[in-house]
Amino acid sequence: MTLLSNPRTRRRRLAVGAAAAGLLAALLTAAPAGAVPDPGDTPAAPKSVSKSDAAQTREAIERGEIPAPDEIAHSDNIEHLANIPKDALPGNNTDLAFQGKYAFAGNYDGFRIFDISNPKAPRTVSQVLCPGSQNDVSVSGDLLFLSTDSSRSDNSCNSTTQPATEKSSWEGMKIFDISDKANPKYVSAVETACGSHTHTLVPERRNVYVYVSSYSPDAAFPDCQPPHDGISVIKVPRKAPERAAVVNFPVLFPGEGPDGGGNPGGPTNPGVRKTSGCHDITVLPSEDLAAGACMGDGILFSIEDPENPKIIDQVQDNTNFAFWHSATFNQKADKVVFTDELGGGSGATCNAAVGPDRGANGIYDIRGKGDKRKLVFKSYFKIPRHQADTENCVAHNGSLIPVRGKDLMVQAWYQGGVSVWDFTDSRKPKEIGYFERGPLSTDKITTGGSWSAYYYNGRVYSNDMAKGLDVLKINDKRTEPAQRVRLHELNVQTQPDYFD
């Protein structure tokens, strides 16, 4: 492993602390370094919009309806404490995880560890160069988990892009030892069918189970064959993470034929993505429950036996949902918020033309008990602030704000910014605060904005794809009780019992 130190110190070489040979990672300090993004892991290039859309964007800025490029706007109850721009890792920022005084920020080119003991001045502890989109990140104890969902030449951090049609190509889960936050060590890697777009931890005392979500199989891909209607379950022994391995592939959507049993998508259900796996799963270990956002389907399932999850209920919305993206339980576990990623995260869907229901959150009540529980749709929620037609905007990753007796959430909306909203009445959700920037461009859709916005120990941390890490404070009586809730560790897709 190569350590590129602060310019005031000389470069030096450190031994690789990995248990498996050939697993290499470049470790970069807070000083800028020469990391180069891998073109194969870079999101789509900016897309030009029509002259009329560009003109309307400029006119909306002139009228004060939306902020200008790089201008920050927020509600009176939101305070912007800090912004830490991207540094040695130039790729798009992605997901976040937390442990003690540290925040772990994913990036298409690797991950970055921040010391957030002073939320007004987060400090970079280390940056690891390890290209492989999306680099969804989670932590548990001394282990960090990193998802790779792009076809690579091998399982190392020095790999390059390689076609998925080649049998030797690799995608899956990487595991790091983060006992020394300033010097993470690559421990092992586990290949999974169709890679790992996202993952979810189910931690136990001796082992960590990892639910790997992936999709889009193709008969031409040797390691990603259709119908792929399930998830990979990895078992990671805490004391021997180098022995991590896939222990099951539960089929969540059983059905005969090459298309499996999930939502068939178009032309049967026009505008809906065909189900061929899951995009994201949130588990609630205190209730042995999980909610899966699985392309064309939303599911509720039991994880009482973590190696063998069992479906309880399955729902579809073939009117307003295009791609079931993520899920969040409320604290009582009697509601689930599902998000719809209309446009794949790169479209301008927060405008009058698309309307308030498409590209929104769907709020479902959970009715009944045990295996007879049902998901019952109640309403949609979408940010009420129209965005420019040059801004990619749609519901994305968020978390609960822990207040007893209330269902409050903070959520990323890409260039729609960060929204704080209340769904205590699941029929009448409402926004109670926001933070956003003006469009990255007035004449093209340039991908950016908040990927993940999570509440952790009194502050909101937002990982902006283009602008870096933002830290926000909510000054509102409705959220004030959450200030007293303190967690040692937070992976939002492993939802804690905040009041235990």
Residue range 115-159, pLDDT digits in tens: 999 999 999 999 999 999 999 999 999 999 999 999 999 999 999
pLDDT interval class at 34 (50, 70, 90): very low
Residue range 463-478, pLDDT digits in tens: 999 999 999 999 999 9
Asked if residue 469 lies in contact with residue 83, where contact means CB atoms within 8 angstroms, the answer is yes
pLDDT interval class at 193 (50, 70, 90): very high
Who contacts 408 (Cβ-Cβ below 8 Å, separation ≥6)? 400, 401, 420, 421, 422, 423, 424, 432, 478, 479, 482
H-only helix segments in 170-294: none
Give the per-residue pLDDT at 393.
97
pLDDT interval class at 48 (50, 70, 90): confident
Give yes or no for residue 5 having a pLDDT over 60.
no
Weakest-pLDDT range from 24-38, 45-59, 135-149, 156-170: 24-38
pLDDT interval class at 38 (50, 70, 90): low
Q: What is the C-alpha to C-alpha distance for residues 481 and 499, in angstroms, rounded to an integer?
A: 12
- What number is the average pLDDT over the span 88-115? 97
pLDDT interval class at 451 (50, 70, 90): very high
Give the per-residue pLDDT at 260.
79
Give yes or no for residue 179 having a pLDDT over 50.
yes
Give the per-residue pLDDT at 46.
79
Give yes or no for residue 36 having a pLDDT over 90.
no
* Mode of pairing for the β-strands spanning 26-28 and 2-4: parallel
Q: What is the C-alpha to C-alpha distance for residues 387 and 410, in angstroms, rounded to an integer?
A: 18
Tokens for 190, please give them: 């586990």
**Computed from CA positions of residues 205, 288, 230, 410, in that sequence, does the dihedral angle turn out positive or negative?**
negative
Residue range 57-78, pLDDT digits in tens: 988 898 988 999 989 999 999 9
- What number is the average pLDDT over the span 223-237? 96
What does the DSSP assignment read for 43-60?
PPPPEE--HHHHHHHHHH
- What number is the average pLDDT over the span 31-37? 38
pLDDT interval class at 52 (50, 70, 90): confident
Who contacts 235 (Cβ-Cβ below 8 Å, separation ≥6)? 207, 208, 209, 210, 244, 245, 247, 307
- What number is the average pLDDT over the span 228-255? 96
Give the per-residue pLDDT at 44.
64
Give yes or no for residue 217 having a pLDDT over 50.
yes
- What number is the average pLDDT over the span 215-226? 96
pLDDT interval class at 27 (50, 70, 90): confident
Give the per-residue pLDDT at 428.
98
Who contacts 277 (Cβ-Cβ below 8 Å, separation ≥6)? 194, 213, 214, 215, 216, 217, 228, 229, 230, 231, 294, 295
Q: How many CA atoms lie within 13 A of 355 on its CB side?
A: 6
- Provide the β-strand partners of residue 407: none
- What number is the average pLDDT over the span 72-101? 97
What does the DSSP assignment read for 270-327?
TT-PPPSS-SEEEEEGGGTEEEEEEBTEEEEEE-SSTTS-EEEEEE--TTT-S-EEEE
- What number is the average pLDDT over the span 171-178? 98
- What number is the average pLDDT over the span 190-200? 98
pLDDT interval class at 49 (50, 70, 90): confident
Asked if residue 391 lies in contact with residue 343, where contact means CB atoms within 8 angstroms, the answer is no
- What number is the average pLDDT over the span 242-251? 98
Asked if residue 403 lies in contact with residue 481, where contact means CB atoms within 8 angstroms, the answer is yes
Instruction: Give the Å distances, CA to CA, from 178 to 31, 112, 185, 352.
Output: 20, 12, 7, 46
Give yes or no for residue 227 having a pLDDT over 90.
yes
pLDDT interval class at 40 (50, 70, 90): low
In terms of pLDDT, which residue wins out, 464 or 38? Answer: 464
Q: What is the C-alpha to C-alpha distance for residues 335 and 176, in angstroms, rounded to an integer?
A: 34
- What number is the average pLDDT over the span 94-111? 98
Give the per-residue pLDDT at 117.
98
pLDDT interval class at 43 (50, 70, 90): low
Give yes or no for residue 160 having a pLDDT over 50.
yes
DSSP annotation of 370: G
Weakest-pLDDT range from 19-23, 300-304, 428-432: 19-23
pLDDT interval class at 20 (50, 70, 90): very low
pLDDT interval class at 50 (50, 70, 90): confident
Give yes or no for residue 19 having a pLDDT over 60.
no
Neighbours of 123 (CB within 10 A): 12
Give yes or no for residue 241 having a pLDDT over 80.
yes
Q: Let me know if 434 is exposed, middle or buried by CB neighbors in 10 A (0-12, 13-18, 19+).
A: buried
pTM of the entire structure?
0.94
Q: What is the C-alpha to C-alpha distance for residues 317 and 358, in angstroms, rounded to an integer?
A: 11
Q: In the predicted model, what is the mean pLDDT of the chain?
A: 91
Weakest-pLDDT range from 56-60, 231-235, 266-270, 477-481: 56-60
Instruction: Give the Å distances, CA to CA, from 322 to 61, 298, 353, 365.
Output: 30, 12, 16, 20
Give yes or no for residue 35 having a pLDDT over 60.
no
Tokens for 138, please give them: 């989670």
- What number is the average pLDDT over the span 353-361? 97
Q: What is the C-alpha to C-alpha distance for residues 483 and 500, in angstroms, rounded to an integer?
A: 16
- What number is the average pLDDT over the span 419-435? 98
